[in-house]
Amino acid sequence: MTASLRDRLDHLSPGDRRLLIALSGLAILALLTGIVGGTGVALARAGWIDLIPETGFRLLTLHGVGIFFYWLYLVQGAILLALAAIEAGRGLAARGLAWGGFALMLGGMALSLGAISGGTPLLYNGNPELAEYELGRLGVFNAGYILLGLGLIVLPATGVATLLAAVRRAGEFSAVGFALFAWAGFLMVTGFALVYVFAPGLLWALGLAGMPANHSTNWHIVFHNMHYLPLMATVIVWYVLMQELIGVKSVFGARFSKLVFAAYLVFVPPTSLYHMFLEPDLPGAVRIAGSLLSLFVSVPTLTAFLIIVASLEVHARARGGRGLFGWIRALPWGEPAMAAAGFAVINMAFGIVLAFVLIQADLAPLLSDTFFVPGYFHFFTVGTVSLSFLAALALILPALTWRGLALPGLARFTPHLATLGLLAFGGAGVTAGYMGVPRRVIDAGYGGDAPALWPALMGWVAGGGLLMALALAAFSLSVAATLLPGRATVPPLPHWDAAITPRPGAAALVGPLAVLVIVIGMYAATATGFELMRALPIEAAGGAHGH
């Protein structure tokens, strides 16, 4: 059996540790900042706190910038480099380059947060039309994203150099090594996209070019990448966590896993067409092609889901797990990382069902500007991706600092609570979307003029959002406690004994059944959407808007 993740991280040099700790710490800070902003917006939408619209939009910008841009990308950098370092077995190659990437991302975060601290809130997509009279602010905001983009080109280059050094020594990639290599490449492309999309606004602010005329179309390029990269990273994290926590490797072999990881890079870019469904001049044939291509977008995620669930089930049954779902109880749920990854899998199923409603050409124009969008995407951003990344940090950081999570007994239940909050937030949010409640407003009650159901749904959104935010913040702080000096040394994780060889021909039914349930769910959510919206007394028409 190979050494555990903790043992392998234990051998990293102090320099590598410092870098990984700095990246992780900054990532958690960005997450907590974003949680504060999001909580404020959710409470204001329900009228539980009274905010002037400008403050509400500033909090919304803080939420989007802090979480969607800095948390999700700093933490990916930390996890990528940690896993690459132990994959190579000799630490990071070109660590100075990674520090350069870290400095760029830190500088980017300072500029972005500085720009949104006053003036007109630009929202997280930095729409230049909002900044016509505040060009200096737009320049600083865009410079922040450009530095983030440059950081995303430079920092993963360290991962690539480390993995290439490993191949030069060993002559092969494990499934995880290959996935890290592909992931690093995709991060670098996304960094380039950020620079490409936000450079025109900076040039405009500096007086070197005219107003960017194409920002909303270009925004979708970066948005599409930033959507799917965390999902690719999530399934890599699941793959690693299952090996580490349970000792389970794919029953389909490393080659098939590599094929699935590469499939992300093959399927995701062509599917970006569906973001253009709101463009009025998009030809009909392209709209149809986009609809067909969008069907492929979840193929890699669903396949990875099947691999992981089937592998777990086969191994758990070999250990005596019985019944259709009885084997699930045998997994080590006492570990906070296991609980987080387990609930992430469940939340991803909800997210996929709802995502398929939104990316249909006929429904996208009706739903894209409604609260359906935040209702569904939090199943991914919070329920799937953030829980999975925190699960990874919950294993990586104790191994780097030799200090354990704070209140682990509480931390193990935070994924349960976050999911409960998410079900309220997402369920009410999606229903609100079907009812036509708009997304980007702060007073969703319209001073008492809104339909009676709207404030009630926003109340559920606020309550669910508050629970979700508190649970996620508690989990983050528990993980962040590993960074504080003076805390006790943590004992190694107990290993689940998965060394038992599975029976040949052992059945694994839950994965395929879950996919069947997801497909039925997609059909039901689509049909429900059509029926509910047919009953609305208004006719909706799409415009050129970004998510």
Q: Which residues bind another protein (CB under 8 A)?
A: 160, 164-165, 167-173, 178, 181-182, 185-186, 188-189, 192-193, 196-197, 214, 217-218, 221, 225, 254-255, 258-259, 262, 265-266, 269-270, 272, 279, 281-283, 286
Structure tokens belonging to residue 266: 């093959």
Distance CA 355, CA 345 (A): 15
CA 247 to chain CA centroid, nearest Å: 25
Distance CA 126, CA 116 (A): 10
The 8-class DSSP code of residue 242 comes to: I
- With left for phi above 0 and alpha for psi between -120 and 50, is residue 93 left, alpha or beta? beta
CA 340 to chain CA centroid, nearest Å: 14
Spatial neighbors of 378 by CB under 8 A, at least 6 apart, are 422, 425, 426, 429, 468
SS3 522: helix
**Residue 470 CB, nearest distance to another protein (Å)?**
38
Which CB atom, from 272 or from 298, has the smaller least distance to another protein?
272
Task: Tell me the H-state helices in 46-94.
Answer: 53-63, 72-88
Beta-bridge partner residues of 403: 489
**Residue 189 CB, nearest distance to another protein (Å)?**
4
Distance CA 232, CA 227 (A): 10
Which CB atom, from 158 or from 419, has the smaller least distance to another protein?
158
**Residue 110 CB, nearest distance to another protein (Å)?**
26
Which CB atom, from 259 or from 515, has the smaller least distance to another protein?
259
Which CB atom, from 21 or from 295, has the smaller least distance to another protein?
295
- C-alpha distances (whole Å) from 304 to each of 232, 257, 315 are 10, 8, 17
Which CB atom, from 213 or from 509, has the smaller least distance to another protein?
213
Spatial neighbors of 324 by CB under 8 A, at least 6 apart, are 509, 510, 513
Q: What is the DSSP string of 129-152?
A: GGGTT-HHHHHHHHHHHHHHHHHH
Which CB atom, from 190 or from 482, has the smaller least distance to another protein?
190
**Residue 131 CB, nearest distance to another protein (Å)?**
20
Residue 193 and residue 221 in contact, taking contact as beta carbons nearer than 8 Å: yes
**Residue 288 CB, nearest distance to another protein (Å)?**
14
Which CB atom, from 269 or from 459, has the smaller least distance to another protein?
269
**Residue 33 CB, nearest distance to another protein (Å)?**
28
Which CB atom, from 282 or from 420, has the smaller least distance to another protein?
282
In 3D space, the residue among 500, 419, 511, 509 whose CA is nearest the CA of residue 246 turns out to be 500
Which CB atom, from 175 or from 474, has the smaller least distance to another protein?
175
Which CB atom, from 30 or from 235, has the smaller least distance to another protein?
235
CA 3 to chain CA centroid, nearest Å: 29
**Residue 222 CB, nearest distance to another protein (Å)?**
8
Structure tokens belonging to residue 146: 């450009």
Phi, psi of 509 (to 5 degrees): -100, -25
**Residue 251 CB, nearest distance to another protein (Å)?**
18
The 8-class DSSP code of residue 370 comes to: B
**Residue 261 CB, nearest distance to another protein (Å)?**
8
Q: Compute the chain's Rg from CA coordinates.
A: 23
**Residue 57 CB, nearest distance to another protein (Å)?**
26
In 3D space, the residue among 109, 174, 187 whose CA is nearest the CA of residue 144 turns out to be 109
**Residue 262 CB, nearest distance to another protein (Å)?**
4
To the nearest 5 percent, what fractions of the chain are helix, strand and coil? Answer: 75, 0, 25
Which CB atom, from 172 or from 497, has the smaller least distance to another protein?
172
